[in-house]
Amino acid sequence: MPGPWKRRFVLFVQRFWQPASACMTCMPGSLTNLLSLPHWVLALQTGLFTGALALLLTFTPAMKLYAHRYGNALLIGLLTMAGDTFSHPGHYGIPHLEAVVTGIVSGLLALVGSYLFEDRARRLRALWARIRRRAPRTR
């Protein structure tokens, strides 16, 4: 796969799972109904719509925002709000409140992910190495 298209594919996959995860977390009752098909359908619709919007933005000057940690988190949060609003009506009673909360959670997931997974997950590998050194060895 050529460089720009590979980057776009990776971007789509990332922008698909972050909103879908945030949507599953923010939907009322989603933790108790984690295996509920309607919840999965709504979450996947939100992720798909957000991923498609993110992919479309790669053809505009907004592509530069993806290169910066905070710009990326802001952009994915806003795209998730749009995707959630488009995918289904809110469940919280106040119009668009669920979309705002889902967008914030998705932006935070993107920000945390940028810290944890940058440089081939260097921080996670270092943490794992520290944990393994401290663990008592049993024989």
- pLDDT one-digit tens code per residue, 82-100: 888 887 777 677 778 888 8
Least confident of 13-17, 63-67, 108-112: 13-17
Whole-prediction pTM value? Answer: 0.72
Instruction: Give me the phi and psi of 91, to 5 degrees please.
Output: -110, 0
Q: How far is CA 59 from each of CA 4, 11, 40, 54, 64, rounded to the nearest angstrom? A: 10, 12, 29, 9, 10
Is residue 2 predicted with pLDDT exceeding 70? no
Is residue 113 predicted with pLDDT exceeding 70? yes
Q: Give the model's pLDDT for residue 112.
A: 86
